[in-house]
Amino acid sequence: GENVEQHPSTLSVQEGDSAVIKCTYSDSASNYFPWYKQELGKRPQLIIDIRSNVGEKKDQRIAVTLNKTAKHFSLHITETQPEDSAVYFCAARVTGNQFYFGTGTSLTVIP
């Protein structure tokens, strides 16, 4: 089955700096890669996604890049703000609608 690895597990950045979270996947048939943000005590919420026929997608301060050859994808957050502090999960979808989640990255933005 699919195996998704996510790094780093914790990340601290100064407010205004950029944050990058990386994920790798094992199954070349994976075709959809969402990112979820989970604030403390709340549900995971989709913040951005990318499909396998696209290399990069941007939405305001967040962007995702996908390298299908290397089987890795990354989340980039620019101009970080304290409200960006949360746990971020990457995921990969192979067939049907089952997602394999990464182990999460706890991001802390220091004011």
Question: Interface with other proteins by CB under 8 A: which residues?
Answer: 32, 34, 36, 38, 42-46, 49, 51, 87, 89, 93, 96-99, 101, 103-104, 106
CA distance 51 to 46: 14
CB of residue 21 vs other proteins: minimum separation in angstroms? 14
CB of residue 74 vs other proteins: minimum separation in angstroms? 19
CA distance 104 to 85: 13
CB of residue 17 vs other proteins: minimum separation in angstroms? 23
- Answer whether 64's CB lies under 8 Å from 49's CB: yes
Residue whose CB is less far from other proteins, 1 or 111: 1
Residue whose CB is less far from other proteins, 16 or 42: 42
CB of residue 49 vs other proteins: minimum separation in angstroms? 7
CA distance 10 to 19: 11
Residue whose CB is less far from other proteins, 16 or 54: 54
- Answer whether 4's CB lies under 8 Å from 90's CB: yes
